[in-house]
A and B are shown apart, each in its own frame.
Chain A
């Protein structure tokens, strides 16, 4: 439990660093670190498949995509951020954490318990039989993403 709490605190710290840091490359690497910690948390919650996806796809592939974009838009990191946001961010965030600690337990008590029996079978059975339509949706989303990227990077025709 202590280790899990330490991992969760590390996850929040890395995520906040990813937003606050000025250097985009450091931000992307912080986001990858947060994904790595989230993957370890998933493993410790008996969810190894979600952990593997989180580490390989989110910490790996998405970080590569971010770094590639940062490399292709080199002078883009000269965007001037608002100074008000720079000092207001930590204050508002700490205030939210205090409110979160005070209110969340009471809110959770009011969540109605849904009737759901314990799961039976392996993860494969739950994924392929219980969530079949999700998988069809995933295929559609991947195809949509591929076609969107192709459309955005297509070469200009002579008529354009």
Chain B
């Protein structure tokens, strides 16, 4: 069971790291949210893998479902914000946000 857990945790860490690299390196606002989505996938894989390895899969499922609901709400709000930012700046470049004036 530990070997299976190790495999899942290995890939979950890879997903979280890929998302973090995307967050640090990319400038497009939509790309940044895709990177956040990738980090979320890593976290939900980690949650479920740990529940699977520790014979608590149902609690892990409940937590993953809670996380998915939160993610939907987060993404809907964030994308609405991005559309509003685009209407103001005509750009999706995150650096343009620093140029905003009242």
User: Could you tell me which A residues sit within 8 Å of B by CB distance?
Assistant: 1, 4-5, 8-9, 11-12, 15-16, 18-19, 24, 27-28, 31, 34-35, 38, 41-42, 45-47, 49-50, 53-54, 57-58, 61-62, 65-66, 68-70, 72-73, 75-77, 79-82, 85, 88-89, 92-93, 96-97, 100-101, 104-105, 108, 114, 116, 118-119, 121-123, 126-127, 130-131, 134, 137-138, 141-142, 144-145, 148-149, 152-153
Let me know if A19 and B65 touch, CB within 8 A: no
CB distance from B90 to the nearest CB of A (A): 7
State in angstroms the CA–CA spacing of A152 and B92 once bound together.
Answer: 17
State in angstroms the CA–CA spacing of A119 and B82 once bound together.
Answer: 43
Closest residue on chain B to residue A97 by CB atoms: B14
Give the B interface residue count (CB, 8 A): 70
Known A31-B34, A38-B45, A130-B59; contact A73-B81, beta-carbon cutoff 8 A: no
Known A12-B14, A119-B59, A131-B59; contact A141-B80, beta-carbon cutoff 8 A: no
Contacts of A57 in B (CB 8 A): 68-69, 72
State in angstroms the CA–CA spacing of A141 and B69 once bound together.
Answer: 8
Let me know if A24 and B19 touch, CB within 8 A: no
Closest residue on chain A to residue B47 by CB atoms: A50
Interface of A is mostly: helix
Let me know if A11 and B44 touch, CB within 8 A: no
User: Could you tell me which B residues sit within 8 Å of A by CB distance?
Assistant: 2, 4-11, 13-15, 17-19, 21-22, 25-31, 33-35, 37-38, 41, 44-45, 48-49, 51-52, 54-66, 68-77, 79-84, 86, 90-93
Contacts of B60 in A (CB 8 A): 47, 50
